[in-house]
Amino acid sequence: MQTTFEKVKGFLLDMGIEITSENPEEELVVADNPDLGIHHLVIDCEEPILVMEQPIMAVPADRETCFFELLKMNRYLIHGAFVLDPEQETILWRDTLQLANLDRNELEGSIKALELALAEYGDDLVRLSNRNRAAIREGR
């Protein structure tokens, strides 16, 4: 009988998403598809949910402006949200799904939502990231 972890891996491969590393004991994979904007997408089968997180960028020096802009973006995301990592150093895209009845369409919908978020807000995210780099160069 196929485990949920194996099923998720099969869905990813069927979608043309490369699994770059995996940890079967933790039921965790890291996936990439640069053509779709997917880079280092961590997918973790944490019973009873599937957790997906993709790093987006470092938290900028102007945190307040960045967080305000991200909250506005979150309002329009189909699935998932822009969030902080536990150390508050990296902005991630994060989504969760129920494992009990997970099917390929549901997983694909979340991944397509990530692609759409990056396409829709990529320029804004780059602008926020570039402001961070400029502030670092200026010593702020």
Residue 1 is predicted with a pLDDT of 76
The average pLDDT across 63-68 equals 93
| pLDDT level of residue 83 (50, 70, 90 thresholds) | very high
Could you give the CA distance from residue 30 to residue 54 in angstroms, rounded to a whole number? 9
CB neighbour class for 138 (10 Å; exposed up to 12, middle 13-18, buried from 19): exposed
Fold observed for domain 4-137: Yope Regulator; Chain: A, (3.30.1460)
Residue 137 binned pLDDT confidence (cut-offs 50, 70, 90): low
| Domain definitions of the chain by residue range | 4-137
What integer is the mean pLDDT of 73-96?
A: 97
Q: Parallel, antiparallel, or unpaired for β 81-84 and 49-58?
A: unpaired
Q: Which carries the bigger pLDDT value, residue 135 or residue 67?
A: 67
Cβ atoms of 57 and 69 within 8 Å: the answer is no
